[in-house]
Amino acid sequence: MAVRTNNVRKARELYNNTNNNKTGSTGTGSTFLHGCNACNRFGESILHIACRRGHLEMVKFLIDEVGLRIDTIRDDYHRTPLHDAFWTPVASYDVVDFLLQQPNVVQLLLLKDVRGYTPLDYARSEDRGKWLRFLWERKAILRPSPTPTKEQQTTAGDVIQVHA
């Protein structure tokens, strides 16, 4: 419930209490980390939910403090939290901007789910041009990993070419 309502204070309290109760100390968060990987009946993690709701502070908490990684989480349709960050009623540029700054995320822009949709395909059609401009303005950070595989070599131009 704390994630759905963007109650970062409550989420942090639960995180700290779980670690204190399970380990007898403040620990590193490993006990809560496994709890954070819990999924709903569609395989969506709490990071998926926070991204889809556009809750930037919760997304930051889950990634920076809890240690969840956007590049390793998938739901039952193989959507990443980045797919969900684009799949919002109102464009969440701040959430996507934060996610794009995480390690190994740029290549996720072209990752297709089981239906063949990339994250940008989930954006509202009336926002598509704004999203393409947003990505183009961030082309400096949209570089592949230092030693990417051929499939991971993604640039801003690739994303725009696919979705133009």
Task: Give the pLDDT of residue 26.
Answer: 44
Q: What is the 3-state secondary structure (H, E, C) of the chain?
A: CCCCCCCHHHHHHHHHHHHHHHHCCCCCCHHHHHHHCCCCCCCCCHHHHHHHCCCHHHHHHHHHHHCCCHHHCCCCCCCCHHHHHHCCCCCCHHHHHHHHCCCCCHHHHHCCCCCCCCHHHHCCHHHHHHHHHHHHHCCCCCCCCCCCCHHHCCCHHHHHHHHC
CB atoms within 10 A of CB 141: 13
Convert the pLDDT of each residue in 40-90 to its tens digit: 777 789 999 999 999 999 999 999 999 999 999 999 999 999 999 999 999
Assess contact for 90 and 57: CB atoms under 8 A.
no
Q: Where are the domains of the chain?
A: 8-163
CA 95 to chain centre: 8
Assess contact for 96 and 134: CB atoms under 8 A.
yes
- Percent of the chain topping pLDDT 70: 74
For the domain covering 8-163, report its CATH number: 1.25.40.20
* Among 21-30, 32-41, 70-79, 145-154, the least confident range: 21-30
CA 139 to chain centre: 19
